[in-house]
Chain A
C-alpha cells in the first residue's frame, strides 16, 4: 500500500531535522516517488501497480541489506512547479534518500534540475526527452526508459527497409513530437538519401482536429506516414484515417502505438500493419518476463501495461542501486549506479556511465487485429544499447559535470 504520513497539524509538524538521517538511524529506507497520477491516470495507474509489486518483492526478499524499503509517493498534478514542490517535500520533510518517477518530459527536467541543485539522486522513470541525459544532463540524474532517440533509431531501422520514398509526418506540437520527428528524419535521411519529406502536420497536443489533418496529409499523397500522436489524439487520427482511407496502400511507422495503454482503446479500429514500438505482453516468452507477469496477474488480477514494467523496474533499479551503495550519500549512490547491471523483465539492463541512460530496450513489431482487439505481431526485442550514438557523440552533447 501507498504510505501516507498524515500531517496532523499541518505545517507545525514539519520541523527541521538532520538531512539524510533516515538511513543511519532507523530500520527503513525511504525513497520518494513523483508522478502525474491525477492528470494521466491511464498511464500512471498500471505504473503504480508495477512499483507496488516491485516494492513487495524487494521487502519479501529481505529489503535493502536488511532494512525495509519504503516508497513515499506524491502527485505532481501535471505541472513542473508542483513537481518541484513535491520533490522539496520529499527531500526536506520526508528525508528520502533518492527521488524517482515522473512522466512528462518537462516535469522530468524540472525535477532533474532540482536534484542537481540540491544534490539528490534522481532516477527518472518515464520522461522520453533526449535532453534529460544529453543536452541538459547532470550527474545526479539517471533515466530508465529508452529515450526518444533510441525509439526513433529502432523505428528508422525498420522504416529504411520500406520501399517508400515520399514521407509525411504527423506529431503533437510540443517538444516530444518535435524531437521525435527531427531524430527520425535525420536518421532516415542518413540511411536513405533518396527520401523526400512531402508534408508535416503539427496538431496541438490533445486537440487534434482529425478531419482537416487527415485530409491535408492525403492531399500530399505520401507513400508512407510517420505518426507520433498518442492517446486520444491517436484514436481520432486512426478513426478519421480509417473512414477516409488514408492508410490504404500506405506504410505507417508509429511511435509508442504498440503499448497497451494506447493500442487497447483502438479496439476493432486498430489499423493493420503499422510498424510500431510497444509492449506485446501476450507474446513475450522469456523466463524473466514469465515470472513478472505471473506475479503481476496474481496480485492485481489484470494484465500489465508498459507503465507496469516501467514502475516495476524503477523500484527494482532503485533497490539494486541502494543495495550496492549501502549508503545514503548521493555521491556513493551515483558511483554505485554508474555501470550497474541488473535483471529486468526484458532481460539484463545496464545504467551507462557515460550518460546515465539505461539500456532497457523496446519491442518493435506490426499491429494486427485479433478478436476485435489490437495486438502486436512479429515483435522483436531491440536492446537499447544497440541504438545509442557513439560515445564521442554523446560526450559532445552532454555538459561536463
Chain B
C-alpha cells in the first residue's frame, strides 16, 4: 500500500514540471493564438541559464536566486522575440507564427551547443532538498515534495492573477474573443507582450527547476515540447486548471502504467489525447472556439485556374526540370528525385490545409504508411515494383480513411493535435512491432527494379509523378468538389445551410491528401532503399508544415515552391556545415519577416498590386462580392 502511495506522489512530482511548462504554453496560445513551437526552447534555455547562474552563485540563497533570475532572463529574451519577430506577423495567416517559432527552435539547438559545449551538464542539487524522507520503508525525495507543493501554489497564483486583477480580466477576455477586446480599445500590443513574457517565464522556470534532477543538454526542448502540447490540448486550450488536471492525469497514468506495461511510456500521452479528443472534442476543460469573424475571402487573393500563358510556363518549367539528366550527375539527380518526392508530399498537405482549411500535424503518418506499404508488398509478397507503386499508397489511403473519419469531427488546433496523436500511434506501432516492421532498424533492401534503377530514370519517374499529382490536385481544387471544400473552409454554417455535407466533404479531402502523401512515401522508400519509423515521425510532419507555410498557405500551389526551396536548402546546408540548424533556422526567420504570406503568396500580392487594372473576369468579381 505504501508503495502505491509513494508511486502516486512520484507521479505528482512528474506532473509538476509538466504543468509549469504547459501552463505557460496554454496562456500564450489562449491569448495570442500562436502555436509556440519555441516553448521547449525557452524551457531548455531556462535550464542552461540556471545551470550557469547556480554554478556561479554559492550557497542556498545563490541557488534559489539563480533559478528565479534565470527565468527572468529568459523571459526578457522572450519579450525581445515577441517584439522584434512575432509582432510583425500577427496578421499573417493562421499558423504562420508556427514557422517563425520553428526557425527559432532550430537556431537555439545549435546556439546552446556553441555557448555551453556539447557535453551533458550536471547541475547542483537544491540546497535543503537533497535527500529523501522515509515513508513505511519507501524513500520519497524531498525535492519531489517541494515540486508537489509548488505546482498548486503556482496554479493558485495564476488563478488570483487572472481572477483578481484588471490585467487578468483582459487576458481572459482576449482568450474568449480577442477581436472584441481590440474593438473596446485595449492596447493589444502590450497585452500580447506581457502574456508572452509570463508564458516564457513559466517555461524557463520549469526548465530551471529540473536541474537538480536532470542533465542539461541540447535535446531538452524536443523532449518536452510535444508532451506539453498534448497536455495543453487534453486540458483544453487556454484553461490553466485543465492543464493542471491533464498533467496530473498523464503523469499518474504513466507512473502506474509502467507497472503493468513497462513499454507504455512511449505512446501513453498520445493514447490519452486521442481518447479524450474523441470523447470531448475541446479537451477536458475547453470550450468550443468562437466562430472566426474574419471572412477569409477578403484576405485571400482570389483563386483562378492558370491562364494559358501560365500553363505554358509550367510546361516549360517541367521541360527544363526534365533536362537535368543532361547536365547533372548521379548526386544531383538523386537530390532532384528527393525534392520531387517532397513536392508531392507538401502538395498533399497543402491541399488539406489551404483548400480544406484543415492543418494536419501528423501528415507524415500517411507518407510513412505508403512507404511501409511498399516494404510489405515488395519484401513479403515479392510483388514487382510497378504493382507495388500502384498498391503501396493504398495503405496510406486506408490509414487516412480510418483516422480522417475521427479527425474531421474536430476543427482548428484540436483537429491538428488529433492527427498528431494518430501519427504518433502509427509511429509507435512501427517502432515497437519488431517482428513485422523491424522496429527502429527498419526494413532494408527495397531498391528499384532495373527499369527505374538508374538515377536518371528514377528522376524522370519522380518528376513525372510529381507533375501528375500537382496537376490532379489543382484540377480537384477547381472542380465542384473543390468549391464545396472551400465553402466548408470559409464558413461551415453557410455551407451546411446550402446543403453541403461538410464532414463527408472534409473526410474525402483527408483521404485524397493521405493517398497522395502515400504516393510520395512509396517513391521515397524506393529512393532510399529502406524504410524506417522516422518516415512516420513528428519531424517529417513538421517539415511538411514548414514547406506549406513557406510557400504560402493562401495560394493554390505554393507548396511546390516551398518544398523546392526548403528541401534544397536543407540538403545543401547539411552537406556543407554541422551548424545547418542554425543557418536554416535563421533563413526561415528571415523569410518569415520578409514574406509574411509565404514566398509564392508574396509574389502574388506584389503582382496584384503592380497590375491593379488587370481586367478580371466577371465571374471572379461576383465571387469576391459574394464573400463580402
Contact = CB atoms under 8 A, between A and B. Distances in A.
Contacts of A77: 574, 580
Contact of B331 (A89, A110, A204, A218): A89
B119 A264 contact: yes
A175 B219 contact: no
Interface string B426-448: 00000110100001111011010
Interface string B205-240: 000000011110111100100010000000000000
Interface in B245-264: 251, 254-255, 258-259, 262-263
Given A206-B223, A207-B227, 17 more contacts: A11-B335, A14-B331, A15-B327, A16-B328, A16-B330, A74-B574, A93-B331, A109-B442, A113-B444, A136-B444, A175-B439, A211-B13, A212-B254, A215-B3, A231-B120, A239-B212, A264-B119
Given A81-B532, A93-B331, A175-B434, A4 B263 contact: no
B215 A11 contact: no
Most buried by A among B7, B331, B534: B331
Given A15-B327, A92-B331, A219-B3, A81 B576 contact: no
Report the contact-size class of chain A (Cβ under 8 Å from the partner): 35 or more
Contacts of B455: 92
Contacts of A11: 324, 328, 332, 335-336
A267 interface: yes
Contacts of B335: 11, 85
Contacts of A93: 329-331
Interface residues of B, number: 82
Contact of B262 (A15, A200, A235): A200
Contact of B534 (A6, A79, A175): A79
Contact of A232 (B6, B139, B215, B251): B215
B258 A239 contact: no
A173 B439 CA distance: 10
Given A11-B328, A11-B335, A215-B6, A236 B214 contact: yes
Contacts, number: 223
B627 interface: no
A74 B10 CA distance: 43
Interface of A: 4, 6-7, 10-12, 14-17, 37-38, 41-42, 45, 74-77, 79-82, 84-86, 88-89, 92-93, 105-106, 109-110, 113-114, 116-117, 129, 131, 136, 173-175, 178, 199-204, 206-207, 209-213, 215-216, 218-219, 231-232, 235-236, 239-240, 243-245, 264-267, 269
B530 A84 contact: yes
B120 A235 contact: yes
A88 B213 contact: no
B467 interface: no
24 contacts: A7-B575, A11-B336, A14-B328, A42-B118, A77-B574, A80-B442, A80-B532, A82-B574, A85-B335, A105-B441, A109-B444, A117-B447, A117-B529, A129-B441, A136-B441, A175-B440, A201-B262, A215-B6, A219-B7, A232-B120, A232-B220, A235-B122, A235-B215, A236-B215
Contacts of B354: none
B554 interface: no
Contacts of A212: 7, 10-11, 14, 254-255, 258
B379 interface: no
A213 B227 CA distance: 18
A225 to B, nearest CB: 14
Contacts of A38: 110, 574, 578-581
A204 B265 contact: yes
A82 B432 CA distance: 23
B520 to A, nearest CB: 13
Interface in B117-146: 118-122, 130-132, 138-141, 143-144
Contact of B571 (A37, A85, A129, A206): A85
B334 interface: yes
B590 interface: no
A239 B575 contact: no
